[in-house]
A and B are shown apart, each in its own frame.
Chain A
C-alpha cells in the first residue's frame, strides 16, 4: 500500500519568503507528526496531531511556524518569513494509535529538504 508522502522533495527559497510543506499520511492513521532534522543531527519534534484532539505544538521553535491537518488527513506545515537557520529536512510521520501497542510504530515519509538562501 501507499506510504507517507511529502511534497515537495526539495525546496529552495529566499530568506523572508513563506513556504508550505505538505504531508499525506497513510490512510486511516490517527496520528501525524512533524519533525525537523538538521544536517548530521537527530530528529527535533515540531508538532503532533491525534484524531480530533487539539494539536501538541510544544515543539514549534517560533511563531513563524504553524501547521494544520485538514479532515484528519493531509497536513501542511507553514514557515513564514523563512530564516537561514530554518534550513533542514522536514520529516512527517503517521501512526495508527487506535490499533493498540502493536501498531504504535511511526511510518516516516521521505522528507522535504528546505534550503533558505
Chain B
C-alpha cells in the first residue's frame, strides 16, 4: 500500500499561493494521485487527480515529478474560504480497498 506523508498543518494569507507537498515513496505503477478538500462537518470533495507531470484545472494545479515519489498541490491566490483540510490519496482507483487517506494537511488562511 502506498503510504502518504504530508505536513500536519500550514498557515497562509489571503492572496498568496499555497503549495502542499505529499510524499509517497512506494507508489505503484497503476497508482493515481488524488487530492481532496474537506470542510468541517462535510464529506471530502475532489480537487484534482493526476498520474504524471502536471495537471491543472480551474481551482488547482498538481505537479508530479518523473519519479512520482512525491506530488505538490498548488492553490493559487488562496482566500479565507480555502481554509480546510487537504488530503493526498495515492492508489489504484480500481482497487478501492487499497485507497488510503492520510491524516491530511490543515490549511489555515488568514486575512
Q: Could you tell me which A residues sit within 8 Å of B by CB distance?
A: 4, 31, 33, 35, 41-45, 47-48, 50, 56, 58-59, 91, 93, 95, 97, 101, 104-111
Contacts and interface: CB of A to CB of B under 8 A. Distances in A.
A85 B102 CA distance: 20
Contact of A105 (B34, B41, B96, B102): B34
A105 B42 CA distance: 16
A48 B96 contact: yes
Given A43-B44, A104-B34, A105-B46, A31 B97 contact: no
Contact of A95 (B41, B93, B101): B93
B43 A108 contact: yes
Chain B's interface size range is: 20 to 34
Nearest to B100: A45
B87 interface: yes
B87 A42 contact: yes
Contacts of A105: 34, 46, 49
A108 B101 CA distance: 14
Nearest to B92: A104
Given A45-B100, A101-B49, A111 B43 contact: yes
Given A45-B99, A105-B46, 18 more contacts: A42-B87, A42-B102, A42-B103, A43-B87, A45-B100, A50-B94, A56-B96, A59-B97, A91-B43, A97-B93, A101-B93, A104-B34, A104-B93, A105-B34, A105-B49, A106-B44, A106-B46, A111-B43
Interface string B18-36: 0000000000000010101
Contacts of B87: 42-43
A93 B99 CA distance: 12
Contacts of A95: 93, 96
A75 to B, nearest CB: 13
